[in-house]
Chain A
Amino acid sequence: MSATDNALAEQAVRGRAAGRRRTGGRSWTFYVLLALFIFYVIALYGPMICIYILSFQDVRGGLVFPMKGFSLHWFVDLFTQVRTGDVKGSFDRSFKLAIIVTILTVVISFMSGLAFRKRFRGDTIVFYLMIGSLVAPGLVLGIGIGLIWSYLGLEASWYTSALGAQLSWTLPFGILVMFAVMSRFQNAWEEAARDLGASPMQTIRLVVLPIIAPGLIAVALFGFTLSYDEFARTLQTAGSLNTLPLEIWSMTLNVTSPSLYSLGTVTTIISFVIIGVSLGAIYLIQKRRAARVAND
């Protein structure tokens, strides 16, 4: 084959690819799905944006539009009023609890994921216990745990009984997501590492972990979200100090002012900060990996 033939063939291939990009790449399905995606995001944020806007009303403000004035009155109200309860303290507790739950969920889900990859005696029982923990109504388990705690004479608190109650909820989620993550993992990579003389710990640290790191972030997202927002299991297990969802719940019972909305605004701003940080972490991991590949 001559050089011109080659060039021609190459041109033809490239032309076809370009043609596909022009016609197939951005076809009508793209626009339909884009519209659906935009609709979803609007439906997701629309109500939230309404309450963000309404939280900036002045003292005459009510729960619905139209907007009455503009001030930070309800934010001040949120942090100063006695009747709105201990928002700052409960947020503090919820945040710490969510961080602890997230870390434990990631570590234990990872270990359990590794365990479930190989069959061992009794694995099916543990698996179905985990499913049971997922499907048992949270309120029921919460009450059960609360009763056991008081029976044993232990004092229920957010960092003991509520922590365990939340883990019995986040772990099944984390482990099931871990299943999906690990199925992407090919055993051949591990075998290759072993053949090259890596110890089991080295294989996990240098081969398994880096590959499934993005998946672990998904587990972490699940853990944080589920814990931060958990109500049913925490209700009877948190002891005397409330977590944020419990506090908000008691607020909705006796506060019907835009203070509630300003609480929504504050929690969302915090979420955006956390998301920024995790996105940055993923970006750094990918960059480091790309650099390592380039070096090799």
Chain B
Amino acid sequence: MALSARMKRNVTGWALILPLVLILIPFFVLPIIGVAVTSFLESDGFGGIIPNFTWDNYLTLFSSDLTFNLYWSTVKFTFFTWVFSLFFGFWVAYFLVFHVRNQLFALGLFLLCTVPFWTSNIIRMISWIPLLGKEGLINSALLAAGIIDQPLEVLLFSSLAVVIAYVHQLTIFMIVPIFNSMARIDKRLVEAAVDAGASKFDVVRLIVLPMCKSGIALGSIFVVSIVMGDFFVVKVMSGGGTASVVGAFYEDIGVLQYPSAAASAILLTVIVFLMVVAILRTVDVRKELS
């Protein structure tokens, strides 16, 4: 009897999960296996692949300073983007949930925050040109105010611009899950804490933060995996001065170095996977389900 109940649970589970599996196999599992296999093959140097097993692609990857530098710069971008998007995401969600009293109005403001994300990423990056560019508004204003006497070049096409663009694009990925988990907090709990003498700081630290841990974890997973896997923003906003892991991969593809490109892709996937697993270990998102 117990056995058949478990069987039934397995059947229901698999029936419900089947569509997901049917998408993941052709569009994730097979391509990634293909890439993984390629990463262990030899290149003939002219875009061809020789089907001989070799560790060389990985050995070259690990022995190169370039790899280290690429990862260092990408991890730096990820870190700064994470910090700033978490800061803005948390407090914007906090404001909407705890300070806006009309629920529909809060929802309206929430959607107001999401509108720009429905326009093209590229357009949003380009839209920084009139502001940050050499003849842009910020430089003009600073020049007019006499604070600087030469346009600041560091504003656009720099690491600063890359981080600004990332935060601009990705804060929403923090706001949505944090807002979601904050909205779940019973307001009476906060009131009870205040009545019991908790300060505002205590309320945030002892009630709000622990209760929206899963939202923060989800947002962090989204931001980390997007920034680590991106090359686009770095390419456009750094003006070509800074490289990224995926950017280097793209260049490898351009010069037909498929096996070494594949090896770096696998390495990146493994590293980001480990980062996400680390986040999931800290906050068990699945445990929240039962």
A100 contacts the other chain (CB 8 A): no
User: How many CB-defined contacts (below 8 Å) exist between A and B?
Assistant: 303
Main secondary structure, interface of B, reads helix
Main secondary structure, interface of A, reads helix
Q: Is the CB of A47 within 8 A of B225?
A: no
> Which of the segments A69-77, A78-86, A243-251 contacts the partner chain?
A243-251
Q: Is the CB of B92 within 8 A of A135?
A: no
Q: Is the CB of B116 within 8 A of A45?
A: yes
Which residue from A37, A121, A139 sits with its C-beta under 8 Å from B250?
A139
Which A residues touch B237, using CB under 8 A?
none
A206 contacts the other chain (CB 8 A): no
Please, how many angstroms separate the alpha-carbon atoms of A272 and B111 in the complex? Answer: 10
Chain A 142-155: CB-based contact to B (< 8 A → 1; otherwise 0): 01110110000000
Which residue from A40, A141, A215, A218 sits with its C-beta under 8 Å from B32?
A141
Q: Is the CB of B168 within 8 A of A44?
A: yes
Which A residues touch B108, using CB under 8 A?
279
Please, how many angstroms separate the alpha-carbon atoms of A173 and B225 in the complex? Answer: 11
Q: Is the CB of A140 within 8 A of B118?
A: no
Q: A54-B130, A180-B181 are in contact. Are A268 and B115 (CB under 8 A)?
A: yes
Which 7 A-B residue pairings sit nearest by Cβ, starting from the closest? A144-B31, A120-B13, A115-B16, A271-B118, A183-B288, A47-B127, A168-B27
| 9 A–B pairs (Cβ distance < 8 Å), ordered by A | A29-B200, A40-B113, A40-B171, A48-B124, A63-B129, A115-B17, A137-B265, A145-B26, A278-B111
Q: What is the interface of chain A, defined by CB distance below 8 A to chain B?
A: 20, 24, 27, 29-30, 33-34, 36-37, 40-41, 43-48, 50-51, 54, 63-65, 107-108, 111-123, 126-127, 129-141, 143-145, 147-148, 164-165, 167-168, 171, 173, 175-177, 179-184, 187, 215, 218, 221-222, 224-225, 228-229, 231-232, 244-245, 248-249, 252, 260-261, 263-264, 267-268, 271-272, 274-275, 278-279, 282-283, 286
